Structure 1
């Protein structure tokens, strides 16, 4: 149940940004949300940034 509610909150935030700030604000909120999501996954250990930056596709 947490995932649908999180998706709802993100959708509402993007909708408000798009309505009140225009398309540029919508893109900024979406980009910062993606950065925050990747940072959270990296902090949890679910995303290996070193392998991603090396460009080897996560292969050892």
Structure 2
């Protein structure tokens, strides 16, 4: 499935949640979608758990 189709599906889900459930449901669907995205990337092997806890390099100012 292409990224455009996935983006369209996510947009439609957020639109339905916002229309039928209000702004709170919109935020809940958006937050759970973000969590699902991160977990999916982690399970696919694109992210490692250490990426979230590794200190930043101070020379990147």
Q: Same fold, TM exceeding 0.5?
A: yes
Q: 1:21-50, CA deviations, whole angstroms, 9 ceiling, x for partnerless residues?
A: 000000000000000000000001111122
Give 1 or 2 for the bigger CA radius of gyration. Answer: 2
Segments of structure 2 that go 5 or more residues without pairing to the other structure are 57-61
Aligned residues: 56
TM-score by length of 1: 0.84
Deviation at 1:2, TM superposition (A): 1.2
Segments of structure 1 that go 5 or more residues without pairing to the other structure are none
Residue matched to 2:34: 34
Which 4+ residue blocks in structure 1 deviate beyond 6 angstroms?
none
